[in-house]
Homo-oligomer: A and B are copies of this chain.
Amino acid sequence: MNPNKILLIHGPNLNLLGTREPEIYGKDTLADIDEKMTQKAEELGLSVETFQTNHEGALIDRIQQAAGDCSGIVINPGAYTHTSIALLDALLAVDLPVIEVHLSNIHRRESFRQHSYTAKAATGIIAGLGATGYLLALEAMAGLLAE
């Protein structure tokens, strides 16, 4: 296990960031966010490995692999946040700190977006702060690992 590697997981439709409903999700592309995260990780003495997929099963596969190869997970499960118990189970199964990030404030959106299954497996959750939320999550993760 690489004690300094953080897995950064982006769920469904997040590959479209920057073009997809920018009034909700902001103008940063996923590449922008990943680059900022890489820089921030370096500052914190960490490395970041990023992964995006639209497939629930592929998210689970990747999370399972993380068990032996990362020290923490920063995840934006996208819409699977609200519907995937399988994803919750994968996060529960790997014994790693997890921070869940949402670009938008889910408490201000449709009621079906206000519930999170995956947050039940997370240490913390950050929502509504756009791309900044990821950077804060990384910072928090660094703190958790330092404990």
Q: Given A12-B60, A53-B57 in contact, is the A136-B126 Cβ separation under 8 Å?
A: yes
Among B12, B86, B88, which residue has its beta carbon within 8 angstroms of that of A89? B12
Among B21, B113, B119, which residue has its beta carbon within 8 angstroms of that of A85? B113
Q: Spot the interface stretch: A2-10, A42-50, A104-112.
A: A104-112
The residues in A between 94 and 147 inclusive whose CB is less than 8 angstroms from any CB of B are 99, 105, 107-108, 112-117, 119-120, 122-129, 132-133, 136, 139-140, 143
Give per-residue flags for A57-86: 1 if the beta carbon is below 8 A from chain B beta carbons, else 0: 110110010000000000000111011111
Flag whether A93 is at the interface (Cβ < 8 A): yes
Closest B residue to A109 by CB, please name it.
B120
Q: Hey, which chain B residues are within 8 Å of A38, CB to CB?
A: none
Nearest chain B CB to A11's CB is how many angstroms away? 8
Q: Hey, which chain B residues are within 8 Å of A15, CB to CB?
A: 64
Flag whether A31 is at the interface (Cβ < 8 A): no
